[in-house]
Amino acid sequence: MKTTVNSERNITLVMDFYELTMAYSYYKKNKQNEYAYFDMFYRNNPDKGGFVVAAGLQQLIEAIKFMHFSEGDIEYLRSLNHFDEEFLDYLRHFKFQGSIWAIPEGTPVFPYEPIVTVRAKLIEAQLIETFLLITMNHQSLIATKAHRIVQEAKGRPVMEFGSRRAQGYDGANYGARAAYIGGVSGTADVAAGKMFGIPVLGTMAHSFVQSFDSEYEAFKAYAEVYPDSCVLLVDTYDVLKSGIPNAINVAEEVLAPMGKRLSGIRIDSGDIAYLTKKARAMLDVAGLTDCKISISNSLDEYLIRSVLEQGARIDSFGVGENMITSKSAPVFGGVYKMCAMEVAGHIIPKIKISENTEKITNPGYKKVYRLIEKETNKAFADIIMFADEKIDVNKDLTIYSLLDRWKNKTLKAGSYEYFELQKPVFHNGEVVYPEYTLDEIRAYRKAQEDLLWDEIFRLEYPHQYYVDLSEKLINFKLAMLEEKRH
């Protein structure tokens, strides 16, 4: 159930052509055995939120594990007349043999910290760039958006209903997976149900109602086929004048004689607050107090918050295009930047300078730790350090902002704990990471969220969580910047 289409599909060529021209240059210049380190990170939370829910790692693992250039791929590359036969033969035998560390799916992550770190031969590290970014960017984006929307539903189930507006089939399938990690209760996308074991749900479209001679006939037919899970779409003609009365009639005339109850109604248009209050009252008067009201009309986190504030009587939500495309913020700007080269066993940190200070990278092979205040059991900050640095909880720990030594904070010895955020995923080409179920990932997300202050979850102007540097790293970084300036 859990194996995804990446094992059936060869997505190796989903790469930018420059990765191949660079790889070829490395190969021709005998740089193919030099090792490089790359970090994948992002700079801004989508929707000006407080964090991102990391997602996509399982598909990244599969993509790398099954990565290979087929004979068809080689033939196509040959046809471009850009590469010699020796290089094509190198690609024919290509297998990723590097090491990867990554923050587990479901973890709340923050700008500038490395979500994925790669150590591999230069060519290998370069050739996985594009599908690594697509995978992590897409799923992290949708998981984060789903989390925002589910949060505002305040415990009411939210279903992912957006396939038809997704950007491609993968957008629907992996989007549903990511949304489930983010907190939705299920999806309408049957493929995602099959691929990932996500609960699937759905009842009827307006066309179902239209295909019968009357709304009553349509409801009656559906109730007879699904007496135990009968949810009726009541807005094909007129919710209050036709839909609800017909639903009540069917509950009484078709379901009741079978000893069954009407499970729910769905409203897909109109003034939600008004209609749900009226509908609730009508159902209650008819004795259908257990009949659930479900809503699905261009919803997003703000509209859900608004209708609930207005006292709308809603038991569950179906959310479409605003979630599956993250419509208000449809791009997750994850980047993949070289942070070090390794020549003859010696690690040489690399930095990318930019006039735009937010684009300056953090040099070196690094680790990232989440620091927990013992008194509150809440996360205080994340700290990025060189991989060979160690934290000693019996000593004070000073953490520095990304570019300024004077912006720093000190945690007192004994007042804090920490854990490493990244886990080993590949070791010299072999997968060393377990395949977690989506429910395990969801449980992990919830546990990790409990470590964060509530203020981080605000939709607007959330608390800005610190991602800081060790003293050694900021000193090294500032020295590199100083040196490059001259």
As to burial, measured by CB atoms within 10 angstroms (0-12 exposed, 13-18 middle, 19+ buried), residue 376 is exposed
Q: How many residues bind its own copies (CB under 8 A)?
A: 101
Could you list the beta-strand ranges (E) of 202-268.
231-233, 264-267
Q: Are strands 378-386 and 466-469 parallel, antiparallel or unpaired?
A: parallel
Cα–Cα distance between 177 and 165 in angstroms, integer?
Answer: 16
Using the minimum distance from each CB to its own copies, give the nearer residue, 101 or 219: 219
Cα–Cα distance between 104 and 399 in angstroms, integer?
Answer: 24
The verdict on 344 binding its own copies (CB under 8 A) reads no
- At 150, the amino acid letter reads V
Residue 68 CB partners (closer than 8 Å, separation 6+): 10, 12, 94, 95
Q: Applying CB under 8 A, which of residues 71, 93, 155, 225 lies at the interface with its own copies?
A: 225
Cα–Cα distance between 398 and 387 in angstroms, integer?
Answer: 17
The verdict on 45 binding its own copies (CB under 8 A) reads no
As to burial, measured by CB atoms within 10 angstroms (0-12 exposed, 13-18 middle, 19+ buried), residue 428 is exposed
The verdict on 207 binding its own copies (CB under 8 A) reads yes
> Rounded to the nearest whole angstrom, what is the least distance from the CB of residue 56 to its own copies in the complex?
10
Q: Applying CB under 8 A, which of residues 211, 289, 310, 377 lies at the interface with its own copies?
A: 211
295-334 residues in contact with its own copies (CB under 8 A) are: 321, 325-327, 330-334
Residue 177 has a CB neighbour count (10 Å cut-off) of 29
Q: Applying CB under 8 A, which of residues 206, 261, 277, 427 lies at the interface with its own copies?
A: 206
> Rounded to the nearest whole angstrom, what is the least distance from the CB of residue 455 to its own copies in the complex?
29
Using the minimum distance from each CB to its own copies, give the nearer residue, 17 or 419: 17
The verdict on 453 binding its own copies (CB under 8 A) reads no
Per-residue x/- track, 253-292, its own copies (CB under 8 A): ----------------xx----------------------
Q: Applying CB under 8 A, which of residues 224, 253, 396, 430 lies at the interface with its own copies?
A: 224
The verdict on 134 binding its own copies (CB under 8 A) reads yes
Per-residue x/- track, 12-41, its own copies (CB under 8 A): -xxxxxxxxxx-xxx-xx-x--x-x-x---
Per-residue x/- track, 67-106, its own copies (CB under 8 A): -----xx--xx--x--------------------------
CA distances from 414 to 82, 396, 399, 411, 467 (A): 60, 8, 16, 9, 21
105-124 residues in contact with its own copies (CB under 8 A) are: 122
